Structure 1
Amino acid sequence: MGRKEISCSWKKNTSNIKEVFDFKAKMGSGSFSDVYMVREKSTGNLYALKCLRKKYLMLSNLENEIKVLRRIKHDNVVKLEDFYESRTHYYLVMELVSGGELFDRILERGVYTEKDASSVILQVLQAVSYLHENSIVHRDLKPENLLFYDTDENAKIMISDFGLSKISDHGVMSTACGTPGYVAPEVLSQKPYSKAVDCWAIGVITYILLCGYPPFFEENETRLFNKIMRADYAFHAPYWDDISESAKDFIKNMMQKNPTQRFTTEEALVHPWITGKTARSQDICQSVCEQLRRNFAKSKWKVSD
């Protein structure tokens, strides 16, 4: 059966990727891909190599991811460095990000405050604002796509996984996609939607960062989607008792049911909770970590591809 090939001028062909890279360690795997830490033989540089098996691949998704990544240059977005093809695989050579996932780092910290959460969300907003300025909508923002650059205590946050992202020059999309729990009401209502879906997801992530559990939780997906479509969430006692009103105000504005009333990234970036004026310094680590362990066991949130 003939296959359509990805055509791009800078793609490199190889009969054996191990002639180009030394494979150091496996970093992760998904249904159709594996990610390895590799060292490029010619330069000695370390990268993350995403190995995608051709026979399982939707080429349109990969083409889209490459097109988006080639357009992006931002300090808080994982860079695509190179692209190889063999007879059986495509290989994305990505900037190496070694600091681990957002939740893992919080669980390891020992001390964690609203100010820490605010700092994370500030960086996410700066990156997403840049994407939106360049007509790119991520469409799948969630905690496991937020990684720390390295293991340094003050490491920056990096946004990864642009498999569902979209270049939307006209501003309106209609394909239902994303991860249940982070998807905006307008997507579930099967209405045309815009970059405001990313702002909703940032609101959901902020909520989780401050209490350790999701704003919408139902075992039954239909009930979950109905709750999201109604924007039916609350700040429950005692988990939210020590969280500032400013943080709650920020979340309410990010999680407005009506996308036209929802904060844009520009509005979010000047909110006092994000600028650091009102985020509290009180340690909330114990309460948040307890809930993270209960609600986000690795098996539940670990879906990488």
Structure 2
Amino acid sequence: MERNSTESSETSNQASSNEMQHETQQKITWGRLRGIVNKSLKLLDLNNEEFSVGRGRDNDLVLTLDELPKHSLILVSKVHFIIELANCDLKSPAYIQDASLNGTFVNREKIGQNKRRILNDGDVISLSQTADNKFEFMDFRLPAELAETYNEVSELGAGGFGLVRLVKDIRTGQQLAMKIVKKKKVSRRRRRAPEINEVNIMKNLTHPCVVRMHDAVENPKTVYILLEVMAGGDLLERIVSNTYLSEELSKLYFYQLCHAIKYLHDRNIIHRDLKLENILLETKDEETLLKVCDFGLSRVVRDGVILVYTKKVDIWSLGVVLYCCLSGSWPFGSINGSPFTDQIEKGEFTYDSPSWEEVSHDAKLLINEIFTVDPKNRPSIIDLLQNRWFCDAPMQLKAKRLMKLESVASEESVLPIQRWSV
């Protein structure tokens, strides 16, 4: 009797687990439509069994004169085409069904009314034979070689670059963040695509405050980058949820961030895209490890090469991050009166918001130094780490424990930055 009850409970739990897994899979974005000619047609994520396009109000994408000129719109049917993925099964093929009177075209070939065909990554869908209503289909499902190793768990984020999914390694059970990036055509001016650049830089990075890359897989159209999972979200989310951060917490975060940038600059790497969304937190705890991510725009400075940007661009970005942490607002913007670009060029900003009343004079002095317009006079990352604002032994010890760095001094003393093993 007890055994039967247990078996019944296990069966019920398994059924619930399967239902939850199915619901989770339905939420995963398995594809995307991108307007090719008409840029007003934004990126459209596909995460349901069906996605319809046409003039009718019940479509997922309703086409109007805002998206298409009149001469093109009159050729569009009430329901023009439907993209299908049966049961949102990520292992099933995606189909496109032609529901129009005038025809739907895939790679310039007409499908035929009420007929359907398999849709492949990179296929171009046209509502007619004209050139002002085309979409590119982007398939974000894992290829067979990756599906054999990783199970897709849920979606972590999406952006213009692609998607980030939570996946589980079937062999080890380890969860990883998989960044799925569609390759872009590389212009003559740009020697290497950003997604390949990111992989080449990250594969050599090992620091407690830099997101670790576990693996990267590339095929002709897509790059899959497997990263450690950061469960605490990004710094922008943390600031927004708290309005702004206390000076004590801002200092703890900024200290870790400066160590990450020092590590990069010591290796002649300029991040070039330091922003709140690219700074991740390990846990939901207030005092947590912070890590830098997203190296798609990063550059390695070669000896003898003259560049229009230097390591000082990262220093300026650090100033923006610190200002946002302490005030919950941006240092430069139209709300301050003069145009945004003029404020940056002149280094004009204020400490007007009420939150600044709680901030120390040393913190403001540090921000003033960082926002030095002439990069030659702007402090280096070593200058920042030696700033008197960081002469805070308790904060340094907290940071040391989070970063798991060895201490070389007692808790009673202020730890000289140069003596840390970073």
Structure scoring higher RCO (CA < 8 A, sep ≥ 6) equals 1
Say which of 233, 252, 276 aligns to 1:143: 276
Q: Which residue of 2 aligns with 1:162?
A: 295
Say which of 148, 151, 156 aligns to 1:19: 148
Q: Which residue of 1 aligns with 2:379?
A: 263
Which shifted more, 210-219 or 119-128? Answer: 210-219
Q: What residue identity is the alignment partner of 1:94?
A: L
After TM superposition, give the deviation of residue 199 of structure 1 in Å: 0.7
Alpha-carbon distance in 2 for matches of 1:236, 1:160: 31
Q: Which residue of 2 aligns with 1:296?
A: none
Q: Show the 5 A alignment for 1:106-255.
A: 106-108=239-241, 112-170=245-303, 174=307, 192-218=308-334, 223-236=339-352, 238-255=354-371
Secondary structure in structure 1 of the residue aligned to 2:258: helix
Alpha-carbon distance in 2 for matches of 1:219, 1:110: 18
Which shifted more, 141-150 or 82-91? Answer: 82-91
Alpha-carbon distance in 2 for matches of 1:47, 1:98: 11
Contact 2:366/2:387 (8 A) holds in 1: yes
Aligned length: 248
Contact 1:172/1:193 (8 A) holds in 2: no
Q: What residue identity is the alignment partner of 1:17?
A: L
- Over 3 Å counting, the alpha-carbon distance change for 1:277 and 1:231 in structure 2 is farther
**Could you list the per-position Cα deviations for residues 27-72 of structure 1 after superposition, in whole angstroms to 9, with x for gaps in the alignment?**
0111241110000112211100011224x46452122111111121
Find the structure with the greater CA-based Rg: 2
- Gaps in structure 2 of 5+ consecutive residues: 1-141, 187-191, 396-422
Secondary structure in structure 2 of the residue aligned to 1:125: helix
- Gaps in structure 1 of 5+ consecutive residues: 1-12, 175-191, 280-305
Say which of 134, 157, 162 aligns to 1:33: 162
Q: Show the 5 A alignment for 1:21-100.
A: 21-54=150-183, 56=184, 58=186, 60-86=193-219, 88-100=221-233
Q: Which is richer in strand?
A: 2
Alpha-carbon distance in 1 for matches of 2:340, 2:244: 32
Alpha-carbon distance in 1 for matches of 2:380, 2:349: 21
CA RMSD in angstroms comes to 2.7
Secondary structure in structure 2 of the residue aligned to 1:90: strand
Contact 1:119/1:274 (8 A) holds in 2: no
Secondary structure in structure 2 of the residue aligned to 1:26: strand
Alpha-carbon distance in 1 for matches of 2:193, 2:305: 19
**Could you list the per-position Cα deviations for residues 157-201 of structure 1 after superposition, in whole angstroms to 9, with x for gaps in the alignment?**
010111111111238664xxxxxxxxxxxxxxxxx2310110111
Contact 1:65/1:164 (8 A) holds in 2: yes
Contact 2:327/2:353 (8 A) holds in 1: no
After TM superposition, give the deviation of residue 204 of structure 1 in Å: 1.2
Secondary structure in structure 2 of the residue aligned to 1:25: strand
- Over 3 Å counting, the alpha-carbon distance change for 1:204 and 1:109 in structure 2 is closer
| Percent of matched pairs sharing the same residue | 29
Alpha-carbon distance in 1 for matches of 2:197, 2:298: 8
Alpha-carbon distance in 1 for matches of 2:239, 2:332: 21
